[in-house]
Amino acid sequence: MDNLNHLLEGFAHVATPMNLLLALIGVTIGTAVGVLPGIGPAMTVALLLPVTYGMEPTQAFIMFAGIFYGGMYGGSTTSILLNTPGESSSVVTAIEGNKMAKTGRAAQALATAAIGSFVAGTIGTLLLVFVAPLVVEFAVSLGAPDYFALMLLSFVAVTAVLGSSRIRGFASLLVGLVIGIVGIDSVSGQQRLTFGVPQLADGIDVVVVAVGIFAVGEALWVAAHLRRKPAGVIPVGVPWMGREDWKRSWKPWLRGAAFGFPFGAMPAGGAEIPTFLSYATEKKLTKHPEQFGKGAIEGVAGPEAANNASAAGTLVPMLAIGLPTNATAAVMLAAFQSYGIQPGPLLFERESGLVWALIASLFIGNLLLLLLNLPLAPAWARLLRIPRPYLYAGIVFFASMGAYAVNAQPLDLFLLLTLGLIGFAMRRFGLPVLPLIIGVILGPRAELQGRRSLQLSGGELSGLLGGPVSYVIYTVIVLVLAWPLVRRYIARPLVERRA
């Protein structure tokens, strides 16, 4: 009951003209960046971080939440109309959505994607209201060894699950950990990796890292692979659905929400796995299996619902424990730190107004997205005609302005370009970007918790083991690391037996 009272207070805080305007700006920008391939919500939030320094934290996060949800909506438009997913989580939508568009049913595909996203987003946010405080109660009971184990799990999960190679994932994490330790050691007072440069004594600002890796790295990558031919978009009217479409969509929406929320809350769960699971489930349960692969509406409704429900699930570990589970959550965590706010168990107590206003803004943003997307889908599709050189030149300009605004020192521009080149090289050699960002943000915190555990145990390594929670986490880590060997050990006899 207390949660509902807090939520109502959050609605009262958001329902001011300025905050509603910021929510509208956020969802509009989020939808636009979701439509444009390559520009995701993570890059956009990173770019806007310096711009929001003049705002109150609550207002900034209302806008960021709109961008986060809007990015999930926008990706479906390009998937359906162009067969080009704006986000990796929209890949599955393209399988059936584009087939529907080519058979003249683009309006129905866009409508079921938009309404399904609204339904799943609302369910996911309601679950966030009730689940997050329970996670906070659990997190308060954890000690330093448990937190250390939890962060190790996060490192292993994002490096072992994401990308095509575990070695590349760990290499990316290592780069992030190295960047994260630049500066003065808080315990010994020694300088680490500063090379005698006084401006590096405070470390590299996480905003500069995020903007460099996401925005400049992506701009350089796109410039190297620029295609000047404008995208050809399938024309579409105002989205609508018939009675049969409603009948075939509502169950996939609910099932998609059930898949998306828990996966969003898990480290490295993301939105990709639940969208694929949702698609496979709908394909199995449908009464029209002959339409799958040719434009089945269930194949759009379920994955899009899973995609948006996972976005709400992502906020549970980020707010309650301070663990980001995807790139956008990592950048939003950096935003919290730039305002001097530390997400974690005490966030709900110390910044109660901010947290509940943020959650309330998700409900409002979700409604705004539905109202914005149904009539304006054809207009969003026209954004694809913007020439890429103009678009990415603007991104590099704003990235440079933003990085300089952080500390007003030219060194940050040099660091921005260096990090941009690192981001470009990572894309060139197939290294995932998220482990690097996780390493930069969580690395210093893992070091702090690890050292604290060792101090409590008088330097004994057994102090890192802690209690039952850390035992379970270390077991999961071992299973995640050993799974490829186990799978090979199980799969080989099966193949030999079949042969």
Local confidence pLDDT in tens for the 499 residues of the chain: 677 888 888 888 888 888 889 888 888 888 887 777 666 677 777 777 777 777 888 888 888 888 887 877 777 777 787 666 656 667 778 778 878 887 878 888 888 888 888 898 899 888 888 888 888 778 777 888 888 888 888 888 777 665 567 888 888 889 999 998 888 887 777 888 888 888 888 888 877 888 888 788 888 887 887 665 555 555 565 567 778 888 888 899 999 888 888 887 776 566 777 887 888 888 888 888 888 878 888 888 888 888 888 888 888 888 888 877 777 787 888 788 778 888 877 888 888 888 888 888 888 888 888 888 777 766 766 666 677 778 788 878 878 887 787 777 888 889 989 999 998 998 888 888 878 888 888 888 888 888 888 888 887 888 888 788 888 889 988 888 887 777 777 666 665 665 5
CA end-to-end distance (rounded Å), the chain: 61
* CA triple 134-139-145, angle to 5 deg: 160
Res 178: pLDDT: 92
Closest to 82 (Cα-Cα) out of 96, 98, 66: 98
CB of 419 closer than 8 Å to CB of 212? yes
Res 1: pLDDT: 61
For residue 305, the number of C-alpha atoms closer than 13 Å in the C-beta half-sphere is 29
CA 190, distance to chain mean position in Å, is: 35
DSSP string, 157-197: HHHHHSSS-HHHHHHHHHHHHHHHT-EE-TTT--EES-TT-
Closest to 302 (Cα-Cα) out of 263, 249, 240, 265: 249
Q: 389-393, long-range: CB within 8 Å, 24+ apart, which pairs?
A: 389/223, 389/226, 391/36, 391/39, 392/218, 392/219, 392/222, 392/223
CA distances from 338 to 60, 275, 444 (A): 11, 33, 15
* CA triple 152-153-158, angle to 5 deg: 105
For residue 497, the number of C-alpha atoms closer than 13 Å in the C-beta half-sphere is 5
Q: What's the token pair of residue 95?
A: 């399988």
Helix (H) or strand (E) holding 100: helix 91-102
Angle at which helix 352-382 crosses helix 57-82, to 10 degrees, equals 30
Cα 361 to Cα 326: distance, rounded to the nearest angstrom: 20
CA 430, distance to chain mean position in Å, is: 19
Give the pTM. Answer: 0.77
Buried b (16+ CB within 10 A) or exposed e, 11-34: eebbeeeebbebbbbbbbbbbbbb
CB of 65 closer than 8 Å to CB of 226? no
**What are the residues whose beta carbons fall under 8 Å from the beta carbon of 17, sequence distance 6 or more?**
none
Burial classification of residue 93, based on how many CB atoms lie within 10 Å of its CB (0-12 exposed, 13-18 middle, 19 or more buried): buried
